[in-house]
Amino acid sequence: LTHATVCVKCQLKLRRENKPYPTCPSECRSIVKNVYTSKRLTLRDLPGIWHYNWLPVKKPSDYAQRSVTYKSKYFSKELGLENLYVSFTGFWPEVKAYVGTGTFKELEAVVAIQYAKENGVNRLISASAGSAARAFAYIASREKFNVVLVIPEKVTEEMVVPMVDEKYVKTLAVRGDYCDAITYADKLHDSTGIAHDGGGRNPARRDALGTILLEAVEKIGFMPNHYFQAISSGAGAIATFEAADRLVGDGRFGKVYPKLHISQNEPFTPMVKAWTARSRTIESCDVEPENVLDVIYAKVLSNKKPLYGLSGGVFDALEATSGEAYGVTNREAEDTSKLFERLEGIDIHPAAAVATASLIKSVDQGKIGPKETVMLNISGGGLRRAEKELGKQRIPITIEVDKDSPPEELRDILHENLS
């Protein structure tokens, strides 16, 4: 076996079952992570993410994309940084980036679906505020794999992908916010038995995100001193920490973890507030406002139940790397988006603009030396180019429901639509 899945809290090696990922029988509710037999990073002669060995699947799919890291010339000069590396996941042919749905969620969907297929799961429910639903719709259509997507009704306008096959993709729009969509997805799982992909809890999804650091380290030659990313569930930050931990174990790329610099979009910054107070608990008042999707620029950064205080979560990753956290206003993010596009030549996803704005703040606050190596995770970009060159299809909404619809009703509605 290439890997074991382990509960971070009780260290139990978990049994592999016909599930999207193994869970701890002791109700630890902690992160479960993959521990790979090979402690060395192996660069395989395979395309896309499959180039890296630390993925929990037996066979690569024919998906051939991955993130692309390049050394910034113009934006770095603006910031006065000599070693700023941009890790770009999106569509930008000039740098050989061809991720059609334009965000790193696509990598997650690829590995989650491949893992599910290899472990006897033939249908997945996934809840998302946008990017992940688009990624799962596109990849499931390509892979001819069944998914049920649960999204907040407010984001249906943004549900555009290069290609979608309604035969495999069913989409439920919930009248409510992202949290209501997640709750609804759980109800749906309980009433239908269809497996929930688990979001950031799914280690297959996180290891897919981990390839972004692996690709960066392959390009740079060693681990960066600083890592910048905007977070919603926190899966990207946890994934990066886990990948860094494997690289430290390998030993050839440095022994020090990159310092994690995480950011969220004001006024919705529950993890920033908790970490600033060095608290493992998110205060319930910090997951207000109720209408978060109406007030933040980066709508995907609206997860109200992030993977924060639990064992192996964001708090632990920040603690282990002496991390930093930043709140970014809509105005700062939008201005940064324009600045980045003007200097680097590509449009970036709102969440990536939040991360980029936090890098500017960090430099302004003197937290980064001019010669230190910085990795900026541009988690999405090039959507306009992708739509122009790959075409676009709207993901059809199968059903629209109230957030309080009873599960029985859901099951019946679904039954009709799935048969």
Residue 303 · residue 129 · CB < 8 Å = yes
Min. distance of Cβ 320 from Zn ion in angstroms? 19
Min. distance of Cβ 199 from Zn ion in angstroms? 19
* Omega within 30 of 0 (cis) for the link into 56: no
Token couple for 15: 């049994």
Which candidate, 135, 148, 151, places its Cα nearest to that of 103?
135
In this complex, which beta carbon is closest to Zn ion, that of residue 9 or of residue 273? 9
Residue 145 · residue 170 · CB < 8 Å = no
Min. distance of Cβ 10 from Zn ion in angstroms? 3
In this complex, which beta carbon is closest to Zn ion, that of residue 7 or of residue 49? 7
Min. distance of Cβ 209 from Zn ion in angstroms? 23
Min. distance of Cβ 31 from Zn ion in angstroms? 10
Q: How far is CA 351 from CA 8, 148, 234, 257, 312, in A?
A: 28, 24, 13, 23, 23
Min. distance of Cβ 257 from Zn ion in angstroms? 24
* Long-range CB pairs of 4-9, under 8 A, 24+ apart, other chains included: 4/34, 4/35, 4/37, 5/32, 5/33, 5/34, 5/35, 5/56, 5/203, 6/32, 6/33, 6/34, 6/35, 7/32, 8/32, 8/33, 8/311, 8/312, 9/310, 9/311, 9/312
In this complex, which beta carbon is closest to Zn ion, that of residue 65 or of residue 202? 202
In this complex, which beta carbon is closest to Zn ion, that of residue 192 or of residue 311? 311
Q: How far is CA 248 from CA 40, 241, 251, 291, in A?
A: 10, 10, 5, 41
In this complex, which beta carbon is closest to Zn ion, that of residue 24 or of residue 298? 24
CB within 8 A of 308, min separation 6: which ones? 234, 270, 271, 274, 280, 282, 314, 315
CA-to-CA distance for 343 and 91, rounded, in angstroms?
A: 17
Phi, psi for residue 100 in degrees, rounded to 5: -65, -30
Interface residues with Zn ion (CB under 5 A)? 7, 9-10, 24, 26, 28
Min. distance of Cβ 195 from Zn ion in angstroms? 20
Min. distance of Cβ 21 from Zn ion in angstroms? 14
In this complex, which beta carbon is closest to Zn ion, that of residue 9 or of residue 305? 9
Token couple for 25: 């029988």
Which candidate, 35, 23, 397, places its Cα nearest to that of 245?
35
Determine the angle formed by the axes of helices 203-220 and 105-118, rounding to 10 degrees. 130
CA-to-CA distance for 268 and 324, rounded, in angstroms?
A: 17
Min. distance of Cβ 108 from Zn ion in angstroms? 23
In this complex, which beta carbon is closest to Zn ion, that of residue 24 or of residue 160? 24
In this complex, which beta carbon is closest to Zn ion, that of residue 316 or of residue 324? 316
In this complex, which beta carbon is closest to Zn ion, that of residue 24 or of residue 354? 24
Min. distance of Cβ 310 from Zn ion in angstroms? 11
In this complex, which beta carbon is closest to Zn ion, that of residue 11 or of residue 365? 11
3-state SS assignment for residue 289: coil
Token couple for 132: 């992940």
- Number of Cβ atoms within 10 Å of the Cβ of 60: 18
